Structure 1
Amino acid sequence: MTSEYCFVIPNYNHADVIESTIASLQSFQMPIILVDDGSNIATQQVLADIDDKFSNVVLIRREQNGGKGAAVDTGLKKAHQIGMTHALQVDADGQHNLADVEKLLAESRAFPDSLISGRPVYDESISKGRYYGRFITHFWVWIETLSLQIKDSMCGFRVYPLAAYVKLTDHVSLGQRMDYDIEVMVRLFWQGLTVRFITTKVHYPEGGISHFNALHDNWLISKMHSKLFFGMLVRSPSLLLRHFQR
């Protein structure tokens, strides 16, 4: 079967760099599914203008903000619905190095049944709290998968094989906010997917908008890790067998 690729970009009130991001992706000549996750009026107008300007953009509007996970899920399911086999998720805030898009696509084409993810290399723009906090999640993910294969579960720069994603979401309700990226990677690993990583630089633009709510999102992530831990216990025999068969 011929592989068909597209981009999925969730957007909630990111108006400053979204057009330049869309313009930078035009050389790939792929559909771009742009999901407006209940943005304000000003951002809605920016996205409408982008939709008018670029013929390969498919704009989907969610009436209410549901969170990053909800927006990505909407985009991935739309991609599958229109016949795409793979979707490359790109954040709307300009933090991802789009020069590495071709590397992620090439890796996915070489390993079409794998989940391909960026493995971030950060510069001085990342906060210390965010930087060190990621290692706590890495630790729990290694426990939840009984494996060191997942090098980073929080980077939203990744290529999904859509058939595997839809198979997962037909049976599991995933987190809708900042817990989403972590949970979907762990659950796809549980489902049998190999996760492959491409090193990529990540930069947090000065004055950029962060939608991470330290109290609420950390609570959701903690609750998710608890759920995944008990899920690991149930799956531990098959996870251990998989480890020794590698």
Structure 2
Amino acid sequence: MSMNICALIPFYNHPDTIGYVVNRLSAFNLHIIIVDDGSDERSKLSLKPLLSLPNVTVVTREINGGKGAAVIAGMREALNRGYVYALQVDADGQHDLEKIPELLKLSNQYPGRIISGMPVYDDSVPTNRKLWRYATHILVWIHTLSFEIRDSMCGFRIYPLEKTLNVINSINNFGQRMDFDIEILVRSFWADLHIVQLPVSVRYPIDGVSHFQLFNDNFLIAKLHIRLFFGMLLNSPKLLLRRVMS
């Protein structure tokens, strides 16, 4: 593999699926960084057999900080270990990992860009989740004055680590929970770090466990959209000029 890339799994209370995800990722000869984001004891026990694997590193956060906090911690660990890219995969087994070669091919084709899955859902996803996602798609198109980001909520991505962390480090109080996936794509686009998307099949978590909290996370995402809208106003001259020049 020509890319200097590792896999990154934010992990919080998915003891029944983490072994499956690690086993599937190991087939691609990737070093795997698991960030345990303050999981319960049963979940921590599920990680112990994985610690003996030579291709697995576990980073432990004692207190749960949210998906975004776990991904950021994993990115910093990966960069410190000398990796240039990180492939983010959720721990719940919902992603079609057979698409990894296509994600890697796109990353080789478009070096330095974020490569993100664009979900194609089956009937297992709740209808209310679909509706909220579509509302977010529309708002993201407004925030970016562009249709480049077709879906901003899929946690199946390849990040160029240094560029992505530069975006994160430029903002105080970057999204730490479910708002992270949206914020990082929008702010990366503003920073001229572009996004390439690949349609991928996504099913509801195979262990039936979703940590998306309908009220709390949608409230966080609503606040994020307000901040991003005002950020769009500040960035609109640059974004409009980019459209004219493209």
Q: Which residue of 2 aligns with 1:111?
A: 110
Correspondence 1:155-194 to 2 at 5 A: 155-172=154-171, 173-194=173-194
Distance 1:171 1:130 in 2: 31
Q: Is contact 2:16-2:207 (8 Å) kept?
A: no
The alpha carbon displacement at 1:219 in A equals 0.9
The alpha carbon displacement at 1:25 in A equals 1.1
SS at match of 1:221: helix
Distance 1:206 1:198 in 2: 22
Q: Which amino acid aligns with 1:44?
A: K
SS at match of 1:112: coil
The alpha carbon displacement at 1:210 in A equals 0.9
Quick check: 1:128 aligned with 2:141? no
Correspondence 1:85-234 to 2 at 5 A: 85-172=84-171, 173-205=173-205, 207-234=207-234
TM-score, length-scaled by structure 2: 0.97
Q: Which amino acid aligns with 1:75?
A: G
Q: Which amino acid aligns with 2:55?
A: N
Aligned-pair identity in percent equals 47
Q: Which residue of 2 aligns with 1:60?
A: 59
Q: Which residue of 1 aligns with 2:5?
A: 5
Distance 2:117 2:207 in 1: 23
SS at match of 1:83: coil
Q: Which amino acid aligns with 2:232?
A: M
**1:36-62 CA deviation, whole Å, 9 max, x = no partner?**
00001111011122112x211110000
Distance 1:108 1:70 in 2: 24
CA RMSD of aligned residues (A): 1.1
Q: Which residue of 1 aligns with 2:16?
A: 16
The alpha carbon displacement at 1:27 in A equals 2.0
**1:3-60 CA deviation, whole Å, 9 max, x = no partner?**
41000000100011110110111122121000100001111011122112x2111100
The alpha carbon displacement at 1:169 in A equals 2.0
The alpha carbon displacement at 1:150 in A equals 0.6
Distance 1:164 1:205 in 2: 30
Q: Which amino acid aligns with 2:83?
A: M
TM-score, length-scaled by structure 1: 0.97
Distance 2:90 2:205 in 1: 12
**1:85-142 CA deviation, whole Å, 9 max, x = no partner?**
0001000001000000111011001111111000110000001000111110001100
Distance 2:43 2:207 in 1: 16
The alpha carbon displacement at 1:194 in A equals 1.5
Distance 1:201 1:118 in 2: 9
Q: Is contact 2:12-2:37 (8 Å) kept?
A: yes
The alpha carbon displacement at 1:157 in A equals 0.3
CA distance 1:207–1:6, shift in 2 (3 Å): closer
Distance 2:215 2:205 in 1: 23
Distance 1:85 1:191 in 2: 19
Distance 1:138 1:10 in 2: 24
Q: Which runs of 4+ in 1 moved over 2 A?
A: none
Correspondence 1:36-51 to 2 at 5 A: 36-51=36-51
Q: Is contact 2:5-2:87 (8 Å) kept?
A: yes
Distance 1:65 1:50 in 2: 21
The alpha carbon displacement at 1:206 in A equals 5.2
Distance 1:40 1:236 in 2: 44
Quick check: 1:74 aligned with 2:73? yes
Q: Is contact 2:94-2:206 (8 Å) kept?
A: no
Q: Is contact 2:68-2:180 (8 Å) kept?
A: yes
The alpha carbon displacement at 1:167 in A equals 1.1
